[in-house]
């Protein structure tokens, strides 16, 4: 089945998202975010997120069906994020997907949230290539992957040892009173700042680190350095701090990603996840990949953050590849490893 019509449900964190794809064509992508409900807490509150998913699921589903101009009976399969994520939030999505699949008598695919972020590339570019190196950066994850087959084989090359890049953005934005989520806020004010105003550290980039942990990340030291600078410099310039902090993150992410491409001999790089929407990361990645002859692919900013389209895309690819569906009753797994693409 080369043009599978699949509905995807994403509820791993604070977005209730439903997407519908036919093959590699996006028909609907509807997102109901509860971010404003979490903003006053400075981060996502799991119980608040779960309740918001319950309230948003039915209207979001109805809007997606209307947008795609299909009926539920037209679907070939239902896909849903099975993990990783907040377990309560995941359970809302998996329960809704199981009920829907049972009602319309269609197969269900419980898929990996991180692999789904990579899969959205198949909706964005005409000829995605495999194998490819993937830099996956979000609020909860910073990983380097080698994707040999998006439906069958993902190799983890390295990951963060502490904070994820998006988590570091949120924490520094909170200290600087920039609000939540922190990534977009820092990206915005960094545009008027100097990337070289403050020499913040680049974690795990010493010669010894390159020998022993070449593809691992660490942002906790950077976070601490920025916090100490802010404490010691009461009259700091927010735009310069934001730009220099952001530059340190971007620099390390791309140093490691391009090193992975060189080590594996793979000249293709995909950047995925919420932090892939960062304008400075996109700009510097474009420049460095062009200089090194690496083919770069980054989804449009609207498809970088959590969405249902990416889940539907992976589901459609699973169907087309002839992969086995999931059992109708499966457990959501909050710590599902990226190497396990589906349940």
The answer, yes or no, to whether residue 41 has pLDDT greater than 70, is no
What's the confidence (pLDDT) of residue 38?
62
**pLDDT tens-place string over residues 194-251:** 999 999 999 999 999 999 999 999 999 999 999 999 999 999 999 999 999 999 999 9
What's the confidence (pLDDT) of residue 103?
97
Phi/psi at 211 (5° precision): -80, -40
- The CATH number for 218's domain is 3.30.420.40
Question: Are residues 192 and 87 located together in one domain of the fold?
Answer: no
**Lowest mean pLDDT, pick from 41-50, 160-169, 316-325:** 41-50
Phi/psi at 337 (5° precision): -70, 150
In a domain, 223, yes or no: yes
Sequence-distant (6+) residues with CB within 8 A of 38 are 14, 44, 45, 48, 49, 180
Q: For residues 107 and 119, give the distance between their C-alpha atoms in angstroms, rounded to a whole number.
A: 19
Is-cis flag, bond preceding 84, omega within 30? yes
**pLDDT tens-place string over residues 3-20:** 899 999 999 988 899 999
In a domain, 88, yes or no: yes
Output the pTM of the full model.
0.93
CB atoms within 10 A of CB 335: 8
In a domain, 170, yes or no: yes
Q: Are 23 and 2 in contact (CB under 8 A)?
A: yes
Total structural domains within the chain: 2
Question: Are residues 25 and 106 located together in one domain of the fold?
Answer: yes
In a domain, 326, yes or no: no
What's the confidence (pLDDT) of residue 47?
79
Per the prediction, the chain carries an average pLDDT of: 94
Question: Are residues 226 and 312 located together in one domain of the fold?
Answer: no
In a domain, 92, yes or no: yes
In a domain, 341, yes or no: no
Question: Are residues 135 and 267 located together in one domain of the fold?
Answer: yes
Q: Are 119 and 147 in contact (CB under 8 A)?
A: no
Question: Are residues 258 and 137 located together in one domain of the fold?
Answer: yes
What's the confidence (pLDDT) of residue 14?
83
Q: For residues 152 and 231, give the distance between their C-alpha atoms in angstroms, rounded to a whole number.
A: 48
**pLDDT tens-place string over residues 150-175:** 999 999 999 999 999 999 999 999 99
In a domain, 338, yes or no: no
The answer, yes or no, to whether residue 1 has pLDDT greater than 70, is no
Structural domain boundaries enclosing 48: 5-119+307-320
Q: How far is CA 37 from CA 56, 116, 338, in A?
A: 13, 26, 29
Question: Are residues 159 and 244 located together in one domain of the fold?
Answer: yes
């Amino acid at each position: 089945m080369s043009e599978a019509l699949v509905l995807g449900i994403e509820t791993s964190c604070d977005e209730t998202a439903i997407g519908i794809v036919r093959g590699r064509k996006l028909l609907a992508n509807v997102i109901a975010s509860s971010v404003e409900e979490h903003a006053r807490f400075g981060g996502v509150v799991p119980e608040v997120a779960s309740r918001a998913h319950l309230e948003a699921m039915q209207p979001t589903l109805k809007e997606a069906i209307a947008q795609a101009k299909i009926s539920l009976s037209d679907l070939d399969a239902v896909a849903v994020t099975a993990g990783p994520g907040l377990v309560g939030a995941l359970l809302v999505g998996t329960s809704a997907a199981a009920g829907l699949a049972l009602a319309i008598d269609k197969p269900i695919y419980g898929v990996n949230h991180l692999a789904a972020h990579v899969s959205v590339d198949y909706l964005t570019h005409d000829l995605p290539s495999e194998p490819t190196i993937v830099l996956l950066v979000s609020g909860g994850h910073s990983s380097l992957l080698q994707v040999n087959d998006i439906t069958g084989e993902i190799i983890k090359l390295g990951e963060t040892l502490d904070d994820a890049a998006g988590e570091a953005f949120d924490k520094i934005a909170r200290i600087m009173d920039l609000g939540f989520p922190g990534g977009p806020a820092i990206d915005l004010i960094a545009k008027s700042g100097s990337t070289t105003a403050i020499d913040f550290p680049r974690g795990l980039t010493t010669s010894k680190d390159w020998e022993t942990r070449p593809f691992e990340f660490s942002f906790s030291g950077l976070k601490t350095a920025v916090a100490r600078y802010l404490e010691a410099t009461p009259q700091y310039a927010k735009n310069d701090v934001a730009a220099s902090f952001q530059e340190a993150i971007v620099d390390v992410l791309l140093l490691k990603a391009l090193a992975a491409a060189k080590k594996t001999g793979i000249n293709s790089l995909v950047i995925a996840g919420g932090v892939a929407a960062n304008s400075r990361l996109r700009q510097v990645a474009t420049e460095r990949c062009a200089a090194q002859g690496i083919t770069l692919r980054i989804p449009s900013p609207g498809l970088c953050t959590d969405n249902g389209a990416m889940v539907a895309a992976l589901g459609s690819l699973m169907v087309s590849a002839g992969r086995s569906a999931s059992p109708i009753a499966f457990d959501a797994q909050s710590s599902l490893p990226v190497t396990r693409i589906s349940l």
